[in-house]
Amino acid sequence: MNNDLQGKAALITGAASGIGKAVALLYGQHGVNVMLSDIDQPQGQQVADLVNAAGGNARFFKADVGDPAQCQQLVQETVRAFGSLDIACNNAGIGGELNLTADYSLEGWQQIININLNSVFFCLKYELEAMLRQGKGVIVNMASILGQVGTPASPGYVTAKHGMVGLTQTAAIEYASQGIRINAVGPGYIDTPLLSQLSPEVRQQLIGLHPIGRLGKAEEVAELVIWLSSDKASFVTGAYYPVDGGYLAK
């Protein structure tokens, strides 16, 4: 148990499944009060119920992070519910359209940039406002291995994740002297619902890209988020941490 997290207030976007759900459950185990957010209300509420059943304190607030007004509302709702916003995990994202750059649709591009990059800026803007009033806070942005390297047929996703890493570094430098730490996590391919529609062949190909010989687990990513959220990472800001089974080492 990480005692310095006990009683702190956190918000998590994209908390209804996958990595967001794993982070929510782990925050709950460490005594963090958590505001879960997602566009999927039934699933999100289910995760909140799981946290509460395990002895944690969670609430659910439905928000579409592609809309700045809803991001602002989510932050306000968290502060209203728990009295502060100590930790934010900006995790919401989609895989988006798969197409070569010349064939990528304009709608597909706008959608993924809005959900995977603009949303992080929107959330950061309002999270920082709340944390600056308190004089402290921690933000963890969920990037990807594709925030460091490219891959064919995902120009939108790769661009958004690279942009997120740059935004993380910039904001971290800006607010380091004001008690706010901001870092990015770069998961490899994680066994989540986002990958469930893949064929067995494609799945095997993805496994082959990781020297460790398997896909990652959402819980393994959550452990890194917990560490970055805690005082144990007190000298860590503006960093990008892969959790990728060796993918980027190749």
Instruction: Read off the pLDDT of residues 101-160 as tens digits, 9 standing for 90 and up.
Output: 999 999 999 999 999 999 999 999 999 999 999 999 999 999 999 999 999 999 999 999
Structural domains present in the chain: 3-249 (3.40.50.720)
CA dist 242 → 66, 109, 129, 147, 203 (Å)? 25, 25, 28, 10, 20
Please write the tens of the pLDDT for every residue from 118-132: 999 999 999 999 999
Please write the tens of the pLDDT for every residue from 58-85: 999 999 999 999 999 999 999 999 999 9
Work out the pLDDT band at 191, boundaries 50, 70, 90: very high
The pTM of this model reads 0.97
Task: For residue 142, give both structure tokens.
Answer: 């969920």
Q: Which residues touch 115 (CB under 8 Å, ≥6 apart)?
A: 65, 66, 92, 93, 94, 96
Averaged pLDDT score across all residues of the chain: 97
For the annotated catalytic residues, the residue numbers are: 157
Q: Residue type for 19, please?
A: I
